[in-house]
């Protein structure tokens, strides 16, 4: 198969047969297994059921390449219809047995065409050195490595209990109340959305991206998609009881059928509350809380921008070690 002979088809999730959905899921599972052979496999039925899902204010354009009944290429372009109207995010996967045959290039060309048609002038995507061919492919596409990141892994059983005790200790006059949620309560939803906007302060490197406005509707949309996928989230938030302000938060995510690995999501503290130990408290409290919600977790993985020295320092103190090099790339379309 040559690049010019690759036929890219749009994937219509509403019209796709169960067999087509499962075929795409098998491709995704094969790519994941090659990159993370030590991990429990993804859940094929859940992957198939959630293909193309998105928030109400987003658009996802999926495409596929097949050979007979087998899916050998999968890609999607996704973007917001209300924010960052200049950009889109791309994802491309090629079956390990069908690489270097032009499938990835054909999918990339299709996504670029779609980005242009929808008025997007920047396309972002991510690579990991767990897939060695990904970086050369990104370079051939003309990608700019805009935000290098370190993916780190923590062995849960090796975390110092004494360190967690110290980080969880708070003074008697402490004005902060710790909340632990698997679903954000309605009465805190607006405050939580405002708090999550603090992540706009996280380093972006050279990424051409504007601030994101997080809304209560987006949070409920994320929760709904997670529930459909079978994923569980744990959010810990610190509330300043003198004002009712949510001062900081941290999140963990996992899939019960892959419970040995949890993923650390965002951790953020409002600028005016920094220097009070809230970030360490939240991280330590989340580690203490995790076994009650997800027994059997052995590892936690997280991504941090290489230039995010403050958060990297906290993670290193907890025992996170380098696991992979991840890069956010961007292509600026002329």
How would you write the chain as a 3-class SS string? CCHHHCCCEECCCCCCCHHHHHHHHHHHHHHHHHHCCCCCCCCHHHHHHCCCCCCCCEEEEEEEEEECCEEEEEEEEEEECCCCCCEEEEEEEECHHHCCCCHHHHHHHHHHHHHHHCCCCEEEEEEECCCCCHHHHHHHCCCEEEEEEEEEEEEHHHCCHHHHHHHHCCCCCCCEEEEEECCCCHHHHHHHHHHHHHHHHCCCCCCCCCCCCCCHHHHHHHHHHHHHHCCEEEEEEEEECCCCEEEEEEEEEECHHHCCEEEEEEEEECHHHCCCCHHHHHHHHHHHHHHHHCCCCCEEEEEEECCCHHHHHHHHHHCCEEEEEEEEEEEECC
Query: Given this model, what pLDDT does residue 191 score?
Result: 98
The token pair at 30 is 């094969």
Query: Given this model, what pLDDT does residue 5 score?
Result: 82
Query: Given this model, what pLDDT does residue 2 score?
Result: 44
| Fold match flag (3-120 vs 152-326) | yes
Return d(Cα 38, Cα 318) in angstroms, integer.
23
Percent of the chain with pLDDT over 70: 99
Q: Which residue matches tokens 């899916």?
A: 71
Query: Given this model, what pLDDT does residue 4 score?
Result: 54
Say which CATH superfamily domain 3-120 falls into. Answer: Gcn5-related N-acetyltransferase (GNAT) (3.40.630.30)
Q: Where are the domains of the chain?
A: 3-120, 152-326
From first to last of its 334 residues, the chain has per-residue pLDDT tens of: 345 589 999 999 889 999 999 999 999 999 999 999 999 999 999 999 999 899 999 999 999 999 999 999 999 999 999 999 999 999 999 999 999 999 999 999 999 999 999 999 999 999 999 999 999 999 999 999 999 999 999 999 999 999 999 999 999 999 999 999 999 999 999 999 999 999 999 999 999 999 999 999 999 999 999 999 999 999 999 999 999 999 999 999 999 999 999 999 999 999 999 999 999 999 999 999 999 999 999 999 999 999 999 999 999 999 999 999 999 999 999 8
- The predicted-structure confidence for 13-72, as pLDDT tens digits, reads as follows 889 999 999 999 999 999 999 999 999 999 999 999 999 899 999 999 999 999 999 999
- The predicted-structure confidence for 126-154, as pLDDT tens digits, reads as follows 999 999 999 999 999 999 999 999 999 99
Query: Given this model, what pLDDT does residue 40 score?
Result: 95
* Domain made up of 152-326: CATH architecture: 3-Layer(aba) Sandwich (3.40)
């Amino acid at each position: 198969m040559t690049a010019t002979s690759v036929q890219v088809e749009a994937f219509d999730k509403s019209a796709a047969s169960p067999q087509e959905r499962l075929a795409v899921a098998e491709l995704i599972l094969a790519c994941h297994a090659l990159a993370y052979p030590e991990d429990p496999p993804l859940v094929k039925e859940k992957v198939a059921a959630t293909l193309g899902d998105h928030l109400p204010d987003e658009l996802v354009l999926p495409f596929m390449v097949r050979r007979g009944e087998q899916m050998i290429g999968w890609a999607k372009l996704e973007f917001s219809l209300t924010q960052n109207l200049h950009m889109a995010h791309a994802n491309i996967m090629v079956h390990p047995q069908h690489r270097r045959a032009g499938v990835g290039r054909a999918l990339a060309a299709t996504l670029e065409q779609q980005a242009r048609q929808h008025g997007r002038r920047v396309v972002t995507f991510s690579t990991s050195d767990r897939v060695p061919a990904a970086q050369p492919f990104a370079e051939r596409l003309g990608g700019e490595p805009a935000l290098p990141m370190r993916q780190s892994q923590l062995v849960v059983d090796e975390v110092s209990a004494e360190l967690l005790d110290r980080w969880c200790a708070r003074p008697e006059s402490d004005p902060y109340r710790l909340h632990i949620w698997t679903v954000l309560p309605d009465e805190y939803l607006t405050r939580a959305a405002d708090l999550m906007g603090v992540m706009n302060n996280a380093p972006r490197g050279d990424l051409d991206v504007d601030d994101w406005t997080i809304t209560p509707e987006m949070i409920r949309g994320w929760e709904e998609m997670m529930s459909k996928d079978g994923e569980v989230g744990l959010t810990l938030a610190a509330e300043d009881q003198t004002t009712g302000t949510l001062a900081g938060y941290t999140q963990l995510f996992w899939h019960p059928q892959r419970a040995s690995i949890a993923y650390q999501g965002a951790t953020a503290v409002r600028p005016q509350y920094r220097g009070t130990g809230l970030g360490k408290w939240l991280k330590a409290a989340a580690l203490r809380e995790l076994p009650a919600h997800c027994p059997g977790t052995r590892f936690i993985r997280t991504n941090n921008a290489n230039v995010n020295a403050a958060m990297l320092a906290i993670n290193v103190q907890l025992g996170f070690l380098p696991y992979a090099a991840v890069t956010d790339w961007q292509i600026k379309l002329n």
